[in-house]
Amino acid sequence: MAENDRKAKEMIRLFQSVGATHFSVTWTDSAGDPIRKTGKDGKEKIRFWSAASPFLLSRYIQEILDEATHNQHNIVVRPRGPSDVTFMQLDDLNAEKLSRVAPAVFLVLETSPGNVQAWVAIKAAPDKEFMRRLKKGMGADKTASGATRVAGSLNFKDKYAPNFPRVAIREAHPGRVTTPAALEQLGLVAAPEIPEPPQRPPSPARHSSSPRTRKWPSWERCLERAPPSQSGKGNRRSIADFTWCLTAADWGWPVDQIAERLMVESSKARDNGVSYAKQTAQRAAEAAARNASAKRDKARSRNFG
pLDDT digits (tens, 9 = 90+) for 244-296: 999 999 999 999 999 999 988 888 888 888 888 999 999 999 999 998 888 88
Percent with pLDDT over 70 in the chain? 87
CA dihedral 39, 45, 48, 49 (to 10 degrees): -40
User: Could you tell me the pTM of the whole model?
Assistant: 0.64
pLDDT at 17 over 80: yes
pLDDT tens, residue by residue, 140-176: 998 888 999 999 999 999 999 999 999 999 999 999 9
pLDDT at 71 over 70: yes
Say how many residues make up the chain.
305
DSSP string, 225-274: HSPBPTTSSSB-HHHHHHHHHHHHHHTT--HHHHHHHHHHH-HHHHHH-H
Asked if residues 20 and 26 have their Cβ atoms less than 8 Å apart, the reply is no
Q: Please give the DSSP secondary-structure letter assigned to residue 143.
A: T
Maximum distance among all Cα pairs of the chain, rounded to whole angstroms:
78
Angstrom distance (rounded) from CA 263 to CA 219? 11
List domains and CATH numbers for the chain: 2-185 (3.30.70.1790), 207-304 (no CATH)
Whether the per-residue pLDDT at 194 is higher than 90: the answer is no
Which pLDDT score is estimated for 205? 41
pLDDT band at 302 (very low <50, low <70, confident <90, very high): low
